[in-house]
Structure 1
Amino acid sequence: MTVKTETSKCLNYINGRWVASDSDELITVTNPANTDDVVGRIQKSTRDDLDQAVSAAKAAKKEWKTLAGADRGKFLYKTADIIESRLDEIAECMTREMGKTFPEAKGETARGVAILRYYAGEGMRKEGDVIPSTDKDALMFTKRAPLGVVGVITPWNFPVAIPMWKTAPALIYGNTVVLKPASEAAVTCAKLFECFAEAGLPAGVVNMVSGPGSVIGQGIAEHADVNGITFTGSNQVGKKIGQTALARGAKYQLEMGGKNPVIVASDADIDLAVDATISGGLRSTGQKCTATSRVIVQSDVYDEFKEKLVAKVKEITIGDGLKNGIWMGPSASESQLNTVLSYIEKGKQEGTLLCGGNRLSGEEYDKGYFVEPTVFEDITSNATIAQEEIFGPVLALMKVESLEEAIELANDVEFGLSASIFTSNIQKMLSFISDMDAGLVRINAESAGVELQAPFGGMKQSSSHSREQGEAAKEFFTSIKTVFVK
């Protein structure tokens, strides 16, 4: 089965059909490793297209929510099986479309399958509690009610996992969905929706509309018939989405930026800390909201850590993620590359460059958006590259004397998404767990690990203070209804 195209055109999926936008305009998506490679052309949709999708979702919601949870789960199980059967094809498309290496793309696609199966099982789990009443002749209990139509706005950095971890719980809890993918990842998203279509989900239950965020994303936030919005992306866009939803009383969920620290204590396993810092900070070209960007090291082990880190960073192989032996691919787009390069220039002014710092050139790189993995030291906490999210393969080393100073430095940003510490001391672990202002804290592990069965979200400016994934997803995608029976 291939992506539904008309001479390389990816169509919208609305009310169970693949349809072209009323605009007759297309957005060309190219491979960031080789811009001569056109991955596809997606619809530059209009508000009219969005209205059609929302109308379809609204019309489908009554029948969908009245299905037994187990029956909704069967659709998710079937979708998971279909995605799994096409895993290599979807992963290859992901690598071509946004640049992460093929092994990473395969891992992410497999995770999407696992997410669907996890939430399919939710259809057979409890949805409420019996509560004692003061009236001896009454029965009082709670049950869950779906929101209705849910607008899903997803980024380009996880083109399978994030759409799945938002859409799967929305569906299993009885909602219908209108999804707007990032333009840089819409071809991969179209493949996922082919799998939903093949699984036989009723028309209107899932809909996909591609196009500019200013039109489709903002349109979802403004639409009177969209009852809830779940968004992952930048702080600037997220806050605008949240303000728009709040103004009309819609429920919203925002997962936004991070400036995630790793603390390396004096008693840490240095080799483990180096490997985890590189993996957490530089895999996926640093394009993860949980990626390590600040590395706070106690002075006793700073020189040893720095020497080993820089040596291993210099060994990283960079290139087209479909090629064997490549560890790091390109930035996902020209604009993202330019953003990263601009932060590297600021870093050169604010600290000392230890390695990297350049756009790669030469025959293998000239048609792609490749940048060297970059490490700085002598960075103060008020430096731009220590405060602002770069979303690229850039690490800032910071030296401290004590754990207390390290935690204070780690908290000295507006974000609070994830953080990790490397130590063998139980008291240091406990202090870190207690004092670190982050929604995800990890001990002796990289900052970028997220498990699908556990709540995920940030503190401070990293989120709207709700949680995604695991059973916590139920709190957003449903409302509690209290029932009193006399």
Structure 2
Amino acid sequence: MRSPPGEGNESEGGKMTPVSANPTTLDLTARKTSAEVYMPYIGGEWVDGDWKQTYDNCDPANRSVTWGKVPECSPQDVAEAAAHASSAFNTWRFSTGDFRTKAAYRLTGMLKDNEDFFVGVMTKEMGKSFFDSRLDFIEAVGVCEAVAPQGTSIKGVTYQKLTPGLSMESRLAPRGVAAIITPFNFPLAIPLAQVLSAIISGCTVVWKPSHLVPECSQAICALIECALAQEAEATGLELPAGILNLVHGDAQTGDALIREPAVQTISFTGSKTVGDRVDSTASGLGKRVMKEVAGINFFYVHEDADIERAARNFVYGKTITSGQRCSSIQEALVDSKVEPEFTARVLELAPGVVHGPGGSEEITAADTDADSWSCPPLVSEDQRDRLAALVESSIEHGAELLYQAQLPDGLAQNGNYFPFTLLTGVDENNPLYSQEAFGPAGVIRAVEDMREAIELINSRIGIVACIDSRDKSATENFIEQVLRTRIDDGRHGTGCFFGTKFGGDRGAGSGNPALDADMVNGYLIWKTIYRSYDELPPAN
């Protein structure tokens, strides 16, 4: 690994040692040290080191199985990665859009060729079902195909003559080094969307993925680097080391990254608490911040709803990814006239929720059965314990337990499972009123009418609002008056089609497109050019 001028290879815990790899040969296997610690990727090399703090990478379905240790990269590691990214930016920013687009298409093809690998590693590390992992993979391919053409499609504007002897235009240019912080729940689609958007814009990247999915993250890094290297070899170009850098860790690493002076742009996807803190700190340092943090999502059941459809959509929206999506439904608001019927039908369907390992036959069968819903383990023991404490506190504050599944023997003891849970009686003094469950726990609440439902939705922070009604005047009024960026009519609110707008706003995010070609805009600056010239007098 080459060090920037004046910099050493010292990490906080000792010297970091580069481990060479041939970037033109795709190798998706995990890179670990002799001590089973996952390596960061800095300056074009996988790096061995001696880190003070590590986290076990455990099987969510069976915590006794550990695949390796994830290091908490030090501020010095982050500074070195940022220095390499900054040095590489001085070359990469002048690469052609044609090259970037061709490299992105090459990457997309390589991704498609490795579907089974990525589906498997997502289920292994994050715990989601094969069906759910495949949805993540499909979305990842889609966003790559949406972003790839932007290398040759980023356009500026020209202006009509505003004053004699002056011509004007505006161009788009890369902002510089981008820090990208991504979550565990979509370990493939979200990182590829953001990292590729930055790189195809001409930026360089220091990426900190969730410490809960290191093997998937390393494979993404290897995939991108290999696609760039192969395209460079095919066109006879020499690329700088440091276009993409990967640092592992949690809070310490993330805090160092957002404060790093070389970083100009920050993309954060994760919890609202952490995202708001990142935004406050980084914005105060003059950096551009793009964040996606979510909140409380709602499912409104109108008095003229299709109760069967509504009940099934609510259960699906609460169990897909075991409720660990920024678009997962948390609360059903049900017109009082139909609340008893809706609640009764949901309780009839609830025993169809199946708990088990994401890769098990039982979970795979549930995903293909119209009357079953899969609910694999949560990603970590901490996530499970947090949700358990939240539900317990909500009951202590007056919530009523409507339903809680019985977990099969051994699941709770061995894995990060939380039983499908339904509550009612959650008012504004209850923790679940304002705290995101991020797990398979939902709330059912009766409302007088659509006006009350809209008022409740607009008074809280979140991304999604769904409606089920056969009255199209009701749905149109709901869509017009609800202040959410994602609204579903007769659907469950989860899942996003690539090439479309998606992103929280009004406290749930910074309103940035997350799945279409406009994703590149956050990584660009506008340059407006004024050119003076001597006008040629008109001919007589």
TM interval, shorter chain, is: over 0.9
Distance 2:94 2:300 in 1: 50
What residue number does 2:400 align with?
Answer: 352
Distance 2:207 2:221 in 1: 10
Letter paired with 1:444: G
Distance 1:112 1:51 in 2: 29
After superposition, where does 1:37-436 map in structure 2 within 5 Å?
37-135=65-163, 138-201=166-229, 202=239, 203-213=241-251, 215-326=252-363, 327-349=374-396, 350-356=398-404, 360=407, 362-413=409-460, 415-436=461-482
Q: Per the alignment, in what secondary structure is the counterpart of residue 31 of structure 2?
A: coil
Give the Å deviation of 1:115.
1.4
Equivalent residue pairs, number = 483
Give the Å deviation of 1:389.
0.8
Distance 1:262 1:60 in 2: 47
Give the Å deviation of 1:397.
0.4
For structure 1, the residue ranges without an aligned partner over 5 or more in a row are none
Q: Per the alignment, in what secondary structure is the counterpart of residue 361 of structure 2?
A: coil
Give the Å deviation of 1:139.
3.6
Letter paired with 1:485: R
Give the TM-score taking structure 1 as reference length: 0.94
Report Cα offsets for 1:270-301 as digits up to 9, x if no partner.
22212221221211111111110010011222
Distance 1:284 1:455 in 2: 21
Give the TM-score taking structure 2 as reference length: 0.85
Letter paired with 1:412: S
What residue number does 1:459 align with?
Answer: 505
Give the Å deviation of 1:86.
1.9
Q: Identify which of 21, 30, 33 aligns with 2:58.
A: 30
Q: Contact 2:72–2:253 (CA<8 Å) still a contact in 1? A: no
Report Cα offsets for 1:148-205 as digits up to 9, x if no partner.
0000011111111111121111111111110001111122111111111221354211
Distance 1:292 1:56 in 2: 42
Q: Per the alignment, in what secondary structure is the counterpart of residue 460 of structure 1?
A: coil
What residue number does 2:32 align with?
Answer: 5
Q: Contact 2:146–2:517 (CA<8 Å) still a contact in 1? A: no
Moved more, 454-463 or 218-227: 454-463
Give the Å deviation of 1:38.
1.6
Letter paired with 2:116: D
Letter paired with 1:33: A
For structure 2, the residue ranges without an aligned partner over 5 or more in a row are 1-26, 230-238, 364-373, 533-540
Task: Evaluate the alpha carbon distance shift between residue 411 and residue 110 of structure 1 in structure 2; reply closer, same or farther with a 3 A threshold.
Answer: same
Task: Evaluate the alpha carbon distance shift between residue 261 and residue 156 of structure 1 in structure 2; reply closer, same or farther with a 3 A threshold.
Answer: same
Distance 2:361 2:156 in 1: 50
Letter paired with 2:160: P
1:479 counterpart = 2:525 = yes
Report Cα offsets for 1:196-248 as digits up to 9, x if no partner.
122135421111000132x2111111110001111111222112211221222
Q: Contact 1:42–1:187 (CA<8 Å) still a contact in 2? A: no
Distance 2:313 2:90 in 1: 47
Letter paired with 1:355: Y
Q: Contact 2:60–2:377 (CA<8 Å) still a contact in 1? A: yes
Moved more, 61-70 or 388-397: 61-70
Moved more, 187-196 or 25-34: 25-34
Task: Evaluate the alpha carbon distance shift between residue 382 and residue 409 of structure 1 in structure 2; reply closer, same or farther with a 3 A threshold.
Answer: farther
Letter paired with 1:70: D
Q: Per the alignment, in what secondary structure is the counterpart of residue 338 of structure 1?
A: helix
Q: Contact 1:22–1:45 (CA<8 Å) still a contact in 2? A: no
Give the Å deviation of 1:70.
2.2
Letter paired with 1:254: K
Alpha-carbon RMSD across the aligned residues, in angstroms, is 1.9
Q: Identify which of 441, 456, 468 aligns with 2:487.
A: 441
Q: Contact 2:393–2:431 (CA<8 Å) still a contact in 1? A: yes
Give the Å deviation of 1:481.
1.4
Distance 2:58 2:215 in 1: 10
Distance 2:165 2:154 in 1: 24
Letter paired with 2:487: V
Letter paired with 1:463: G
Letter paired with 1:15: G
Q: Per the alignment, in what secondary structure is the counterpart of residue 122 of structure 1?
A: helix
Give the Å deviation of 1:382.
4.1
Q: Per the alignment, in what secondary structure is the counterpart of residue 416 of structure 1?
A: coil
Which has the higher Rg, Structure 1 or Structure 2? Answer: 2
Distance 2:508 2:481 in 1: 17
Letter paired with 1:210: H
Task: Evaluate the alpha carbon distance shift between residue 127 and residue 348 of structure 1 in structure 2; reply closer, same or farther with a 3 A threshold.
Answer: same
Report Cα offsets for 1:389-425 as digits up to 9, x if no partner.
1111111001112111111122232x13111111222
What residue number does 2:369 align with?
Answer: none
Moved more, 384-393 or 106-115: 106-115
Letter paired with 2:30: V
